[in-house]
Amino acid sequence: MNPIVSDIKTIDESRQGEAFYLPDTEDINDIILKRFYIESYGCQMNFSDSEIVASILSECRYKPTQDIEKANLILLNTCSIREKAEETIRKRLRTIDKIKISRPGTMVGILGCMAERLKQSLLEDEKLVDLVVGPDAYRDLPRLLNQVEDGDKGINVYLSREETYADISPVRLESNGVTAFISIMRGCDNMCSFCVVPFTRGRERSRDPFTIVSEASHLFERGYREVTLLGQNVDSYKWQHPETHETYSFARLLEQVANVHPDLRVRFSTSHPKDMTDDVLHVMARHENICKYIHLPVQSGSSRVLSLMNRTYDREWYKNRIEAIRQIVPECAVSSDIIAGFCTETDEDHKETLSMMAWADYCMSYMFSYSERPGTLAARKYTDDIDEDTKKTRLSEIIALQRQLSAEHNARDVGKTFKVLIEGDSRKSESEFKGRNSQNKMIVFPKAPGLNPGNYVHVFIESSNSATLLGRIVTN
């Protein structure tokens, strides 16, 4: 039977345009009572949460549909990280309202960070929404849905100190059957002054490592060949056995997941420079299947701005962490998040960001201009005093430099051979595969007979641009 295309979508730039598939299901048409349609916005964590939501909904006989017009329940899993993300959702809600008006009885729900941030006001002000559910309240969805079906509104934005959804087996909505996300922790205790996440996702808590390793093993048995361990700050993963009191650090967890099988690749995201230990780097160096790629957001290259951002490290500390990576895992690629135009940022500070980017030689960055978020430390303590034009100019300089660094990075890979995990057909052609090397670079190459997604191949790189490497399969 062909896979059923679900309509989980993500607006994360790196994933935009991908289709997502559900595993085969027997006689699905016989057992479906109701259908839900879900769109995910923002970070990978939201995408992973949508898979937990799909699992919880399947228990109350909701099945996903790719056709919003056929859905009894329309869900938006939302992001609040920047104002623009919230505007996108509001616009989308107004479009969805037309469907709701044309098909009375259709329920609309807001999940995730925006639900948490705006709470009751989403139900009251908008009148477009029936259901508002925060990131820690997804288990309550069946009860809330009953409430909505009975004509009431459903809201639960309770933030938990314990919820990790450890026992829930996510319904994999990933398209390729090769790569999957595993949430290892939730929330964040860091309080970076610009960031709304600690308010929308609550306190940091780590998931039972045994359930993480078992989820990775099951994925491997089902043909998956890559897992990405997800958390806002994976380096502060910490779990204590309730009986033995033995503690598990991220380094220990990473090693255990790597030991599931040598053919299961392991990635992780996001690392925080203040917490990234040499222990983790040594574990990476010891295991070929732990991908040699670290997303280590710097945010700014200026120590003064970093202090205002409450990042709790300075430029020197960050450089020291990069030097440790270069020494312990020399082939490791590093990417970053960068914010242009944070409060009080001078031209000099901005230049320090550019020089840090060049020094760190990022293979890739996610780049943003500062967007003040209500309730954050920065909104309360500082003035958003950099005008939009200056933010825009600085951001475009950062983007131009990153484009150049990525192109140079990729050009240096021409002539090298990489082990690549095949993920599927390339976007442009059915006669080509796409896959990633350990350093997370996308590689496109002509297909060869007998190969399928999930297989590893060696690819010789013949050419490159700033986004992709192009090559051909070689025997070794």
Name which position in 114, 192, 276, 294 contacts ligand SF4 (CB under 6 A): 192
Out of ligand 5AD, ligand SF4, none, what residue 272 binds, judged by CB under 5 to 8 A for its kind, is ligand SF4
Q: Is 198 in the site for ligand SF4 (CB under 6 A)?
A: yes
Stretch that binds ligand SF4, among 63-71, 104-112, 187-195, 392-400 (CB under 6 A): 187-195
Out of ligand SF4, ligand 5AD, none, what residue 190 binds, judged by CB under 5 to 8 A for its kind, is ligand SF4
- The answer to whether the CB of 340 falls within 8 A of the CB of 395 is yes
For the purposes of burial, counting CB atoms within 10 Å of the CB of 304, is it exposed (0-12), middle (13-18) or buried (19 or more)?
A: middle
Total interface residues for ligand SF4 by CB under 6 A: 10
| Residues 70-129 contacting ligand SF4, CB under 6 A | none
Q: In this structure, what are the phi and psi dihedrals at residue 21, rounded to the nearest 5 degrees?
A: -120, 150
Distance CA 231, CA 212 (A): 13
Q: Is 195 in the site for ligand SF4 (CB under 6 A)?
A: yes
Closest C-alpha to 253, from 233, 273, 238, 272: 238
In which residue are the tokens 């420079």 written? 273
Out of ligand 5AD, ligand SF4, none, what residue 371 binds, judged by CB under 5 to 8 A for its kind, is ligand 5AD
Cβ closer to ligand SF4: 126 or 337? 337
SS3 262: coil
Distance CA 395, CA 398 (A): 5
How many beta carbons lie within 10 A of that of residue 165, not counting itself? 22
Cβ closer to ligand 5AD: 254 or 339? 339
Out of ligand SF4, ligand 5AD, none, what residue 106 binds, judged by CB under 5 to 8 A for its kind, is none
Q: How far is the CB of 57 from ligand 5AD (least distance, A)?
A: 27
Name which position in 225, 272, 391, 409 contacts ligand SF4 (CB under 6 A): 272
Distance CA 421, CA 333 (A): 17
SS3 207: coil
Out of ligand SF4, ligand 5AD, none, what residue 64 binds, judged by CB under 5 to 8 A for its kind, is none
Distance CA 113, CA 260 (A): 33
Cβ closer to ligand 5AD: 315 or 373? 373
Distance CA 44, CA 72 (A): 26
Q: How many helices (H) and strands (E) does the chain have?
A: 15, 24
Cβ closer to ligand SF4: 189 or 388? 189
Binding footprint of ligand 5AD on the chain (CB under 6 A): 81-82, 194-195, 297, 299, 337, 339, 368, 370-371, 373
Out of ligand 5AD, ligand SF4, none, what residue 339 binds, judged by CB under 5 to 8 A for its kind, is ligand 5AD
Distance CA 259, CA 109 (A): 40
Residue 107: beta bridge partners?
Answer: 73
Residue nearest to ligand 5AD (CB): 337
Would you tell me which residues interact with ligand SF4 (CB under 6 A)? 188, 190-192, 195, 197-198, 232-233, 272
